Chains A and B, each alone.
Chain A
Amino acid sequence: MDLLLEGVRQALTLVLAGDSEIWAILLLSLQVSGSATLVSLATGIPAGAALALARFPGRSLVVSAVNSGMGLPPVVAGLFVTIMLWRSGPLGGLEILYTPAAIIVAQAVIAAPIVTGITLAAVQQVPAEFRLQLLALGASRVQMVWVVLREARLPMLAAVMAGFGGVISEIGASMMVGGNVKGQTRTLTTAMVLETGKGNFEVAIALALLLLVLVFLVNWALTSIQQRRAF
């Protein structure tokens, strides 16, 4: 119990004193996971919408694959992205392993199925009659999809939250492809593992609290947008 209180005290001290290393880690985590979420939205929303509206043979297989992908273990994504980005791997020429770019790639791979799956579900719950009506009123196919997506925007904010929450709290992939390099690829979660290994439990608790506050603030912002639009 003393340890927890000490952790809280240390967290406040670190943040309020503007500890530059902590702030840099916080900022990097936010940038990396934010970028990864954006990439996953850019790919996941069109993919989810297309899957929801299209009918083709083998569709249920693809949908099942996406739904399984929502539970993709980060360490699996990390392993494959690492092998791709190794100097000896197919994308080795990019030389981005152990850089923030590599973490963004891995996290986008983790978040994309989450966004795709939730978009798919959100678009599908818009009644089919509504789509038919739009087309009957003379909307083009693109206009129809756009209106349907707008109709599904509230549940789709949940996709943003789930995607971001999934990657900012993820550790396996960040550790593998980022390497936890001090000042370069050290994120909140990898720093937490390191500090625990070093026996600096207070710092680890401080980092944990920062992560929780960060996730809460982001979700609070998204939720307030969602709930405001809901009425």
Chain B
Amino acid sequence: MGIRWLGALAVLLGLAAAAAAQSRVVILATTTSTQDAGLLEVLVPAFERRTGYTVKTIAVGTGQALALAARGEADVAFAHAPELEKKYVAEGRLANRRLVMVNDFVLVGPEADPAKIEGEKSAVAAFRRIAAARARFVSRGDKSGTHTLELALWRRAGVEPAAPWYIESGQGMGATLGLADDRRAYTLSDRATLLALGRRLTLKLMVEGDRALLNVYAVLEVNPANGPRVNAAGGKALADFLLSPEAQAAMRAFGADRYGRALFVPVAGKTDEDFK
């Protein structure tokens, strides 16, 4: 009898421990670029050491990351598609959007530069010239942050991109750069991935430094009402950590040893107004 009770008690304790362990798990939905660049491998372990939470990083396109968080399937989102993010905030599904860091997008293309855009200052003008020349352009086509910006640039250029010169890869940035390289096409890339893959590519940097090419990363917390079992406290802890001096310093230093230059500029405390 006693043994049976002990057994039942052990099972209950085990279940309680498992339940407690679950609330120590934070699911982070984020973009592939932060993972591909290797930044998360620096930030996540530091957060886990500091707080005792275990982080499950789900690196997908920004569109999917935000959708997962909006469904309550993740506890915090780290993304780079300002317009889309603001839409979710306006709908009340994601909250407390705070800017974390920036870097920039660049327009790359083949050595021959058929659309003659090298050195162009305006990204929109460059896009217009690519369309006019019907020069090949590879799009991510995956609702990622990069794809969202690219579509916004086409809209501003007043162009409806279409096949055959417009190619949709449907893949991550690395694979898309590879495809653009192979097809001698232009493409839009975040600088971090371009630097990471640079040595394998023959693509040349064509347009950079335009305000329109700024790549703004923000962290968003999940409204617990979105679904069952959202770990809102854990999500907020991770969001707060990304804005802490420790994490911001790690972002400022990241990449300098490997690429000879920092890949991200931390911007905690700034707002969209600062980048208008």
- Chain A interface residues (CB < 8 Å from chain B): 86-88, 92, 95, 97-98, 179-182, 184, 194, 196-199, 201
Q: Can you name 27 A-B residue pairings with CB atoms under 8 Å? A: A86-B71, A87-B73, A87-B227, A88-B227, A92-B228, A92-B229, A95-B22, A95-B229, A98-B27, A98-B58, A179-B56, A179-B58, A180-B58, A181-B57, A182-B41, A182-B44, A182-B57, A184-B56, A196-B174, A196-B175, A197-B32, A197-B36, A197-B174, A198-B36, A199-B36, A199-B193, A201-B200
Which residues of chain A are near B41, meaning CB under 8 Å?
Answer: 182
Which residues of chain A are near B199, meaning CB under 8 Å?
Answer: 199
User: Can you name the residue of chain A whose Cβ is closest to the Cβ of B199?
Assistant: A199
User: Can you name the residue of chain A whose Cβ is closest to the Cβ of B227?
Assistant: A88
- Chain B interface residues (CB < 8 Å from chain A): 22, 27, 32, 35-38, 41, 44, 56-59, 71-73, 172-175, 193, 196-197, 199-200, 227-230
Question: Least Cβ distance of A36 to chain B in Å?
Answer: 20
User: Can you name the residue of chain A whose Cβ is closest to the Cβ of B230?
Assistant: A87
Whether the Cβ atoms of A198 and B196 lie closer than 8 Å is yes
Interface of A is mostly: loop
Whether the Cβ atoms of A199 and B59 lie closer than 8 Å is no
Q: Given A87-B73, A181-B58, A199-B199, list of 6 further CB < 8 A pairs?
A: A87-B227, A196-B174, A196-B175, A197-B36, A199-B36, A199-B196
User: Can you name the residue of chain B whose Cβ is closest to the Cβ of A180?
Assistant: B59
Which residues of chain A are near B44, meaning CB under 8 Å?
Answer: 182
Whether the Cβ atoms of A181 and B56 lie closer than 8 Å is yes
Whether the Cβ atoms of B71 and A88 lie closer than 8 Å is yes
Report Cα–Cα, A88/B196, bound state, in Å.
37
Whether the Cβ atoms of B56 and A198 lie closer than 8 Å is no
Question: Least Cβ distance of B264 to chain A in Å?
Answer: 16
**If A92-B229, A197-B174, A199-B196 touch, does A179 touch B71 (CB 8 Å cutoff)?**
no
Which residues of chain A are near B37, meaning CB under 8 Å?
Answer: 198
User: Can you name the residue of chain B whose Cβ is closest to the Cβ of A87?
Assistant: B229
Most chain B CB neighbours (cut-off 10 Å) among A95, A182, A199: A199
Report Cα–Cα, A172/B200, bound state, in Å.
26
